[in-house]
Amino acid sequence: MVVWITGASSGLGLATAQALREAGHTVVAGARSFRAETGTDGIHRLPLDVTDEASVTAFAEAARAVSPRVDALVQCAGILVLGPCEETSPEEYRRVMDTDFLGMVRMNRAVLPLMRGQGSGKIVMFSSINGLLGIPCQSAYTAAKHAIEGYAECLQMEARRFGIQVCLVEPGDHRSGSQHTRHHAEAVTPESPYWADYQSATGVIHRDETHGSDPAKLGRKVARVLARKRMPVRLRIAKPDQHLAVYLHDLLPPGLNGWILRKYYYGKS
């Protein structure tokens, strides 16, 4: 199987690229920091900026030089901006949406004609637990992941008759932290009225990620899903407490669910 993967320089994207290569697939990996080369690990690396239409086109052309087929596209590229809603600027929201959501749209537009021509293909898009519920100080990322969830449902219905499958991967916290993709809203300072809550929430987020799941295990699960004849529409990969958080979000009254999350992230109601 020939697999294209975005965001493959670090974190979950790197772990997934390595797992796919270990499973015997031809892996064409893209990231902004890459130069065109084939590493000693057998992964074909190409430069790719998913926010740049010309870069997406160049990546697709170079990937087709490696192999004219593309059996699967795995989309992991993403960035994060932490900050209260009021102090996260429209430009910071735009930057996250342009990478995390519109980057996937650009890549899908590049690959869908090829898959339709083949009569088959698999598209895996990395969403998040935050695509299902919101948490404090992560509104830009949450908004992008919610957009991916809705978009993927539309794409899954539209592409099915062409033999193209779509799967949403919804990771919980994993030990994947790459600081160059993690940003803080520029307006947040110690003088902010949100400063104490911001410090508390981001501390909890950092703690949960530090003690998160092994990204290599996630990569192997994605590789196994791609090997299946029929992929699930959703694949949630998270610890039991994060599965529970999603269930409670759907079952509890919104006010009560919000109280629980405020208590968890702020230590107060």
* Residues with a known catalytic role: 9, 127, 141, 145
- For the chain, the distance separating the N- and C-terminal CA atoms, rounded to the nearest angstrom, is 51
Q: Which amino acid is at 172?
A: G
Q: Which residue has the tokens 């669910």?
A: 257
- Measured over the CA atoms of residue 57, residue 58, residue 61 and residue 67, the dihedral's sign is negative
Helix and strand totals (H; E) in the chain: 9, 10
SS3 262: helix
Query: Nearest Cα to 133, choosing from 6, 37, 258?
Result: 258
CB atoms within 10 A of CB 72: 25
CA angle 235, 238, 242 (to 5 degrees): 120
How many residues belong to the chain?
A: 269
CA angle 197, 202, 206 (to 5 degrees): 150
Distance CA 70, CA 233 (A): 20
Distance CA 39, CA 24 (A): 15
Sheet containing 37-38, strands listed edge to edge, beginning at the edge strand earlier in sequence: 37-38, 44-47, 26-31, 2-6, 72-75, 121-126, 164-171, 234-237
